[in-house]
């Protein structure tokens, strides 16, 4: 098998990269360890930055997003007895969109770029030469070799691409937070017009949504929490408490919970994002806690840089953009990593009373200062296109 760009991973980053390369006339082959059904149904991020929406529009993938997604002007920040709305459009002239990763994945699959699913034993070879290749076993049990000019790892935390960078050539930074998120999906209309981020002595809570009929909720829980300890009624009771049911007449509407999971909270960055003819993108190179809604947007921002770099490298034999990819991507990665850490530490509770007072002071400043609100808006909605 021969291709110009071998892409490992068929999540949004890998699929969008394949789509953009194909539009530019570059041959790309995508392989994926999971089934198409699994990849298409993964419940992940739901907030798209202004620049992400613009990228999808330019790629011809924004039609259903514009028709079925929800444009939000901002978010609500809350703590006991107080709720404040930050209007991003008024502050910086940019909005965000609510559109679940599952919906974006459907759009990418419908775009038609072929994927070889359910491969096993993927390994990367000769990455520092001009003739890299990938080996794997297909779903039928046949061993395959895929020769390429470039390999791109979009296979996340547990794929082989991250580990293909030699230990001596890589450096990692990471932080594990002392709490997790209990995330639930419920068949109930949202009780809010825009997301509510709530600080509460019992722990952080978030009211999000996926559509006009489906809501997404998160609760801060201790690391190591078992789902069995959180029956439906306990979840709804805690959400009502932390989100302020009854405050100023606001009511939380409950409904059937259709899925739940416990999400660990961590930050991770691996450098470099390029090793020879291997380029890393998305969760393969960086992970952020979901508080700042940066993960999916960062992955697609990587692809927005990488696609034209590979086109220039392979079509024009111009390596300038490819050589600068890692440095350019990491500037945004570290900015988003800081913002995600800042949002997380400001909104989640801990054991130190002094720190808790500082968090309240920070929330009060952000919601009462134009400068503070503008800084949050700039980071949350993302840079201008």
Answer yes or no: do 165 and 281 share one domain. yes
Answer yes or no: do 22 and 111 share one domain. yes
Answer yes or no: do 189 and 317 share one domain. no
Answer yes or no: do 109 and 160 share one domain. yes
Instruction: Give the angle 363-292-384 at the CA atoms, nearest 5°.
Output: 105
Answer yes or no: do 224 and 356 share one domain. yes
Answer yes or no: do 148 and 20 share one domain. yes
Residue 202: inside a domain: yes
Give the DSSP H or E segment for 328.
helix 320-347
What does residue 174 show for φ and ψ, rounded to 5 degrees?
-155, 155
Answer yes or no: do 29 and 162 share one domain. yes
Q: Is the pLDDT of residue 384 over 90?
A: no
Render pLDDT for 368-383 as a digit per residue (tens, 0 to 9).
999 999 999 999 999 8
| pTM listed for this prediction | 0.95
pLDDT at position 213: 92
Q: Output Rg (C-alpha) for the chain, integer angstroms.
A: 21
Residues designated catalytic: 72, 197, 290, 294, 380
Residue 90: inside a domain: no
Residue 64: inside a domain: no
Give the model's confidence band at 42: pLDDT under 50 very low, under 70 low, under 90 confident, else very high.
confident
pLDDT at position 62: 96
Answer yes or no: do 135 and 246 share one domain. no
Answer yes or no: do 258 and 301 share one domain. no
Q: Is the pLDDT of residue 278 over 90?
A: yes
Q: Is the pLDDT of residue 385 over 70?
A: no
Residue 62: inside a domain: no
Q: Is the pLDDT of residue 69 over 70?
A: yes
Answer yes or no: do 276 and 259 share one domain. no
Q: Is the pLDDT of residue 43 over 90?
A: no
Number of domains observed in the structure of the chain: 2
Answer yes or no: do 256 and 185 share one domain. yes
**Which CATH number fits the domain that encloses residue 137?**
3.50.50.60
pLDDT at position 30: 98
Helices 12-23 and 295-315 cross at an angle (nearest 10°) of: 30
**Which CATH number fits the domain that encloses residue 250?**
3.30.9.10
Residue 157: inside a domain: yes
Answer yes or no: do 197 and 336 share one domain. no
The percentage of the chain sitting over the pLDDT mark of 70, rounded to a whole number, equals 99
Q: Is the pLDDT of residue 192 over 70?
A: yes
Residue 72: inside a domain: no
Render pLDDT for 281-314 as a digit per residue (tens, 0 to 9).
999 999 999 999 999 999 999 999 999 999 999 9
* Residue 13 near residue 302, CB atoms below 8 Å: yes
User: Which residue from 32, 45, 39 is spatially nearest to 159, judged by alpha carbons?
Assistant: 32
Nearby residues of 5 by Cβ (< 8 Å), 6 or more positions away: 17, 18, 21, 26, 27, 28, 29, 148, 149, 150, 151, 152, 310, 314
**Mean pLDDT for all residues in the chain:** 96
Region 77-84 average pLDDT: 96
Residue 324: inside a domain: yes
Q: Locate 237 and state its tokens.
A: 């009771």
Residue 188: inside a domain: yes
> What are the start-end ranges of the E strands in 9-114?
28-31, 47-48, 70-72, 74-79, 82-87, 96-98
Render pLDDT for 107-160 as a digit per residue (tens, 0 to 9).
999 998 999 999 999 999 999 999 999 999 999 999 999 999 999 999 999 999
Give the model's confidence band at 184: pLDDT under 50 very low, under 70 low, under 90 confident, else very high.
very high
Render pLDDT for 343-360 as a digit per residue (tens, 0 to 9).
999 999 999 999 999 999
DSSP secondary-structure letter at 348? Answer: S
Domain residues for the domain of 334 are: 5-46+100-170+272-344
């Amino acid at each position: 098998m021969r291709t110009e760009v071998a892409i490992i991973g068929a999540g949004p980053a890998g699929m969008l990269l394949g789509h953009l390369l194909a539009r530019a006339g570059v041959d790309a082959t995508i392989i994926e360890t999971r089934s198409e059904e699994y990849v298409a149904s993964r419940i992940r991020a739901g907030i798209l930055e202004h620049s992400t929406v613009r990228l999808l529009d330019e790629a011809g993938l924004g039609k259903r997003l514009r028709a079925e997604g929800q444009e939000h002007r901002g978010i609500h920040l809350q703590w006991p007895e107080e709720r404040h709305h930050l209007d991003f459009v008024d502050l910086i002239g940019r909005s965000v969109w609510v559109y679940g990763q599952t919906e974006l994945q459907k759009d990418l699959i419908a775009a038609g770029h072929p994927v070889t699913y359910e491969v096993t034993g993927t390994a990367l070879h000769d990455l520092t030469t001009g003739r890299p290749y990938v080996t794997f076993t297909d779903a039928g049990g046949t061993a395959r070799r895929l020769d390429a000019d470039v390999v791109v790892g979009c296979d996340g935390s547990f794929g082989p691409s991250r580990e293909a960078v030699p230990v001596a050539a890589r450096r990692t930074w990471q932080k594990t937070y002392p709490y997790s998120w209990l995330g639930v999906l419920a068949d109930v209309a949202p009780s809010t017009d825009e997301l509510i981020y709530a600080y509460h002595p019992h722990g952080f809570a978030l009211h999000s949504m996926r559509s006009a009929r489906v809501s997404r909720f998160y609760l801060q829980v201790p690391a190591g929490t078992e789902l069995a300890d959180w029956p439906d009624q306990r979840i709804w009771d805690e959400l009502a408490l932390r989100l302020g049911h009854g405050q100023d007449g606001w009511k939380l509407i409950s409904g059937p919970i259709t899925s739940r999971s416990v999400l660990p909270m961590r930050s991770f960055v691996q450098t470099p994002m390029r090793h020879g003819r291997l380029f890393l993108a998305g969760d393969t190179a960086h992970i952020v806690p979901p508080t700042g809604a940066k993960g999916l947007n960062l992955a697609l921002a990587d692809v927005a840089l990488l696609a034209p770099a590979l086109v220039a490298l392979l079509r024009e034999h111009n390596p300038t953009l490819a050589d600068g990819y890692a440095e350019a991507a990491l500037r945004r990665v570290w900015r988003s990593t800081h913002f995600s850490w800042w949002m997380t530490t400001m909104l989640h509770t801990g054991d130190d009373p002094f720190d808790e007072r500082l968090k309240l002071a920070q929330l009060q400043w952000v919601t009462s200062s134009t400068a503070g609100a503008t800084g949050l808006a700039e980071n949350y909605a993302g840079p201008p296109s």
